[in-house]
């Protein structure tokens, strides 16, 4: 697809906007594998040649703070498909199939809006491991736990190289009167990095600040970026097929990474390189060209956004927040204050005394625009990067560690054993998360705030890990909590909660108040950014300053 075609399509959609508005959009969701922000040319990696993704960004919108629900393929994809955290969706083991009673958003598109839904390319990872032992396979078969053939109209997992043929099969089967949802899975840039034909010169690369500048790191980065360039070419082929078979004038395109790159502090880590991924959106006539946002977006937010784009109501069980207003260029009163992520076992290996954190690790994190708190529940697991521990980059890091030439920040981050239970980072002063500030008295309030919102998330998700805030041994916690609630506000909460579900929707909260004033107060009271206000949030006597008029 040439630039002129995209412009022409956008112009067509603008002219015929009234007609397009009456149609449900087709949705193309393309997921790259182990792909960290900012590794696309449009995000500033000048040596990367990604003209097709760059063009989508220029004519659509790019997101700089898109964070996945987990730094691993399976739980991250579960979050994307369900709009819920991995723990809430019960994907707590890497090789688990998605539970039958967890509903994916493509199923809702099918049942409520008549979409024809398909998935193709690399494994979608949500039907259990393809290399499970016989004992596991027996349970999967006996209990009929592999469900994706029932959830989608078209299911394929034969690999990135077969995407063109399988896409054509999908369109052959799709009834012409039905809108489509198609999820295309790429293998690139998953380790090992072998598909790039002419990767960038290692000597000319910019080594990001979360990695030491070592020859092995440069070699790994070159091969990694070569795969991203290969991915860009395959992305163009996907667009060409959609254009030919269905047209693009009423198609929402989302391109996203499933989790971060297989480098130290990347995949398998709750540091930003493991969670912060590219997200590009293109939708002619809706998304204005040149959009660029730093709003906090979670993997949980893809599902509600796609449902609202199709004109559907978001089910209450979905905890994600729709960012459709951002796509439309409207105000975004529900912008997140926090994102959350979870780490559990990786792969299907068993556990022994030599198992590293790359295979088994249990941790949680909460991140605001400025601060991040990581909670490590298994700190005695020695650190090792997922997938790439045998590569030249990690070998050079280990060598520098042994020779005592590794910079202090990297040394403490990767070679402290046991690792700290808590890590706290000021992301404005320390964007590469190399200086743990946990325990500094001047940050006690920040620490308590982050622990409190993380604790709430863990409780609501029925998380099985120990909570970060300990119970009061004298039993004062409950009475202390009660003393902070305003009894008059408790009575008012009951009056406003007209549907008696224990939460205030925007409509219930706003009543007959001035809309702008109500929106500002709603945002202030919605501490956990869940999209509603529970009784604890409403009755808390400690409230933010009144909104400025």
For 186-241, the pLDDT digits (tens) are 999 999 998 888 899 999 999 999 999 999 999 999 999 999 999 999 999 999 99
Between 360 and 141, residue with greater pLDDT: 360
Task: Compare 345 and 66 and report the one with higher pLDDT.
Answer: 66
Mean pLDDT, the chain, whole residue set:
88
Spatial neighbors of 353 by CB under 8 A, at least 6 apart, are: none
Do 48 and 228 meet the contact criterion of CB atoms below 8 Å apart?
A: yes
- Asked if the model's pLDDT at residue 20 lies above 50, the reply is no
Residue 47 pLDDT: 92
Contact 240, 234 (CB under 8 A): no
The span from the CA of 378 to the CA of 16, in Å, is: 56
Which tens digits make up the pLDDT trace of 85-125?
999 999 877 778 888 999 999 999 999 999 999 999 888 77
- C-beta separation of 312 from 112 below 8 A: yes
pLDDT at 465: 95
**DSSP conformation letters of 167-193:** HHHHHHHS-TTS-EEEEEE--TTPSS-
Domains of the chain: 3-7+28-331 (3.40.720.10), 357-460 (no CATH), 483-539 (1.10.238.10)
Distance of CA 13 to the CA centre of its chain: 30
Q: Distance (Å, rounded) from C-alpha 398 to C-alpha 389? A: 10
* β-bridge mates for residue 334, sequence order: none
Q: 65 to each of 338, 381, 399, 450, how far by Cα in Å?
A: 11, 29, 33, 18
Q: What was the pLDDT predicted at 4?
A: 40
The pair phi, psi for residue 234, each rounded to 5°, is -70, -35
Residue 525's DSSP bridge partners are none
Q: In this predicted model, what pLDDT tens digit does every residue of 307-363 receive, in sequence order?
A: 999 999 999 999 999 999 999 999 999 999 999 999 988 766 677 767 787 777 899
Judged by average pLDDT, the poorest of 2-16, 17-31, 299-313, 411-425 is 2-16
Q: What is the pLDDT of residue 216?
A: 98
Q: What mean pLDDT comes out for the span 378-382? A: 91
416-444 pLDDT tens trace: 999 999 999 999 999 999 999 999 999 99
Other C-beta atoms within 10 Å of 491: how many?
A: 10
- The CA-to-CA distance between both ends of the chain, in Å, stands at 48
pLDDT in tens, 167-177: 999 999 999 99
pLDDT band at residue 252, thresholds of 50, 70 and 90? very high
Q: Can you give the pTM of this predicted structure?
A: 0.83
Kindly state the DSSP code that residue 527 receives in the 8-state scheme. T
> CB–CB of 471/462 below 8 Å?
no
Maximum mean pLDDT: which of 375-389, 464-478, 505-519 = 375-389
Give me the percent of the chain exceeding a pLDDT of 90. 67
Confidence of residue 458 (pLDDT cuts 50, 70, 90): very high
Cα–Cα distance measured from residue 392 to residue 405, given in angstroms and rounded to the nearest whole number: 17
Confidence of residue 77 (pLDDT cuts 50, 70, 90): very high
pLDDT digits (tens, 9 = 90+) for 276-297: 999 999 999 999 999 999 999 9
Cα separation, 381 vs 337, whole angstroms: 31
Mean pLDDT of 374-393: 93
CA angle centred on 180, ends 229 and 324, rounded to 5°: 75
Nearest to 178 by CA among 208, 209, 159, 154: 154
Q: How far is the C-alpha of 33 from the C-alpha of 261, rounded, in Å? A: 8
């Amino acid at each position: 697809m040439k630039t002129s075609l995209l412009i022409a399509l956008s112009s067509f959609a603008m002219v015929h906007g009234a007609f397009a508005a009456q149609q449900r959009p087709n949705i193309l969701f393309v997921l790259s594998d182990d792909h960290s922000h900012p590794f696309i040319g449009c995000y500033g990696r000048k040596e990367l040649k990604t003209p097709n993704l760059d063009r989508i960004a220029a004519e659509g919108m790019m997101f700089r703070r898109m964070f996945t629900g987990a730094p691993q393929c399976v739980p991250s994809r579960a979050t994307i498909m369900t709009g819920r955290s991995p723990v809430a969706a019960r994907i707590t083991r890497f090789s688990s199939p998605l539970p039958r009673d967890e509903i994916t958003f493509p199923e809702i598109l099918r049942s409520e809006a008549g979409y024809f839904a398909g998935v193709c390319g690399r494994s979608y990872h949500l039907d259990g491991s393809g290399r499970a032992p016989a004992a596991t396979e027996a349970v999967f078969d006996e209990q009929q736990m592999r469900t994706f053939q029932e959830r989608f109209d078209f299911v394929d997992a034969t690999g990135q190289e077969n995407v063109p043929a399988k896409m054509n099969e999908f369109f052959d089967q799709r009834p012409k009167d039905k809108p489509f949802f198609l999820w295309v899975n790429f293998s690139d840039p998953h380790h090992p990095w072998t598909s790039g034909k002419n990767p960038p010169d290692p000597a000319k690369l910019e080594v990001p600040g979360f990695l030491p500048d070592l020859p092995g790191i440069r070699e790994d980065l070159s091969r990694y970026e070569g795969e991203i360039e290969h991915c860009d070419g395959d992305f163009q082929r996907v667009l060409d097929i959609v254009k030919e078979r269905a047209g693009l004038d009423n198609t929402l395109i989302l391109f996203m990474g499933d989790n971060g790159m297989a480098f130290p502090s990347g995949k398998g880590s709750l540091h930003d390189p493991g969670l912060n991924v590219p997200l590009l959106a293109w939708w002619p006539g809706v998304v204005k060209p040149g959009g660029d946002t730093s709003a906090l977006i979670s993997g949980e937010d893809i599902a509600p956004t796609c449902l609202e784009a199709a004109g559907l109501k978001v089910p209450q069980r979905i905890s994600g927040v729709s960012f459709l207003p951002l796509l439309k260029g409207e105000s975004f009163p529900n912008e997140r204050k926090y994102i959350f992520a979870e780490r559990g076992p990786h792969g299907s290996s068993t556990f022994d005394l030599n198992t590293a954190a790359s295979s088994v690790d249990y941790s949680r994190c909460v991140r605001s625009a400025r601060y991040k708190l990581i909670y490590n529940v298994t700190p005695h697991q020695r650190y090792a990067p997922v997938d790439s521990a045998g590569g030249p980059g990690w070998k050079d890091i280990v060598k520098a560690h042994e020779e005592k030439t590794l910079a202090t920040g990297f040394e403490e981050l990767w070679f402290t054993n046991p690792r700290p239970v808590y890590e706290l980072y000021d992301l404005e002063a320390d964007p590469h998360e190399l200086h743990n500030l946990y325990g500094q008295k001047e940050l006690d309030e920040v620490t308590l705030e982050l622990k409190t919102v993380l604790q709430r998330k863990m409780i609501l998700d029925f998380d099985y890990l120990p909570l970060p805030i300990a119970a009061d041994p004298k039993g004062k916690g409950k009475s202390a909590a009660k003393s902070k609630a305003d009894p008059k506000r408790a009575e008012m909460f009951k009056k406003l909660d007209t549907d008696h579900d224990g939460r205030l929707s925007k409509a219930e909260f706003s009543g007959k108040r001035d809309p702008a004033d109500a929106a500002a107060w709603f945002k202030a009271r919605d501490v956990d950014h869940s999209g509603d206000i529970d009784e604890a949030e409403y009755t808390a006597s400690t409230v933010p300053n009144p909104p400025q008029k």
